[in-house]
Amino acid sequence: MTIEMRLFGATIVALLIGLVVGPLILPVLRRLKIQQTIREEGPASHLKKGGTPTMGGIIFLLTLIITVFIFVPVAELDIAVTWLWLVLGLGVVGFLDDYIKVVRKQSLGLRAREKLLGQMLVAVVFYGMLKYFGHSQDVIVPIFGWRLALDWLYLPFIIVLTMAAGNGANLTDGVDGLLASTVVVACLAYVVIGLATGVEVVAVLSAALLGSMLAFLRFNWHPAAVFMGDVGSLALGGALAGAAVITKTELLLIPIGIMFVIETLSLIIQVIYFRKTGGKRFFRMAPIHHHFELSGWSEVKIVFAWCLLGVVGGIVGLLLLPSMGF
């Protein structure tokens, strides 16, 4: 099977499987009353979303697993399994957080340090798997083409990158269809990067994720019939981080995931400004997509604006690729 057929097949099969799995999972979530609790301090327009099923990330994770094992050849399964470890490992951390909040009705979920520790452990095992397969510990700097031999520093680098991507994606998941849509855009970039860097399995994995997200958007588009929960958002951050690491384009995750960067920075700015000014807010609400909501933007408008930003970031990332020697 040619790579073109594998890419097309992975996208379409994931889309079809997701459209079948979704209607099977949704009634289960409703029956178990796995429902979203809306924070009163959030936008008032979100209060009507109370009771919407959550933890819907299970839909696209199941879809992704099935599709990967259909379209990834046995010779490349080691890379695929390494990538899936990061995706599903972070997904499990998110699942535990969702379970505590939604099923056990403990509103805070995992403590921050527990959540970060879980992500760290997943990243450490991911690093160990990479090292076992002889993955390079160099990091290539775009524009300059410098190869930085991080050696033992590559482990903390992987941990920081994984946690930044996972939590950045988690922060972005605050509007119907927002995270899923921006991940679709990022997947397109990583399909191209996988082909350009010669790591075709990443292109196939990205295509499978692309199809899975398109299917999930059928249920997550405004007004959402289901939310992905932390089980989905953390997993998606891991998927993009894994694609960047395996293709040795770690630093390109900054422009390609620019929407996650902006969301994270907006929250950091809000917290620092709040503390320095004794309670004043820099944004109406953070993360920044809520600021635009409170400024009168519709959820659909925010999604399209973020996708446009993602397209620009993806193009920048692809334009920087030749400077890295690919």
In percent, the amount of the chain with pLDDT more than 70 equals: 95
The boundaries of the domain holding residue 196 are: 75-200+223-324
Specify if 168 maps to a domain.
yes
Check whether 44 has a pLDDT greater than 70: no
The total number of structural domains that make up the chain: 1
Specify if 37 maps to a domain: no
pLDDT in tens, 11-24: 999 999 999 999 99
Question: In the predicted model, what is the mean pLDDT of residues 144-163?
Answer: 96
> Is a pLDDT exceeding 70 seen at residue 45?
no
Whole-number pLDDT of residue 179 = 97
Kindly indicate the confidence band of residue 267, based on its pLDDT and cuts at 50, 70 and 90. Answer: very high
Average pLDDT, the chain: 93
- Residue at 21: amino acid letter: V
4 has pLDDT over 80: yes
Looking at the domain assignment, is residue 278 inside a domain?
A: yes
Question: pLDDT band at 48, cuts 50/70/90?
Answer: low
Question: What string of DSSP letters covers 58-104?
Answer: HHHHHHHHHHHHHHS-GGGHHHHHHHHHHHHHHHHHHHHHHIIIIIS
Beta carbons within 8 Å of 230's beta carbon, 6+ residues apart? 57, 93, 94, 95, 97, 98, 109, 170
**pTM of this prediction?**
0.95
* Percent of the chain residues past pLDDT 90, beyond the cut: 88
Is residue 55 one of the residues assigned to a domain?
Answer: no
- Domain-located, residue 282: yes
Q: How far apart are CA 324 and CA 252, in angstroms?
A: 10
Instruction: Please report whether residue 48 resides in a domain.
Output: no
What value does the mean pLDDT take over residues 175-203? 97
The answer to whether position 70 is within a domain reads: no
Tell me if 15 is assigned to some domain: no
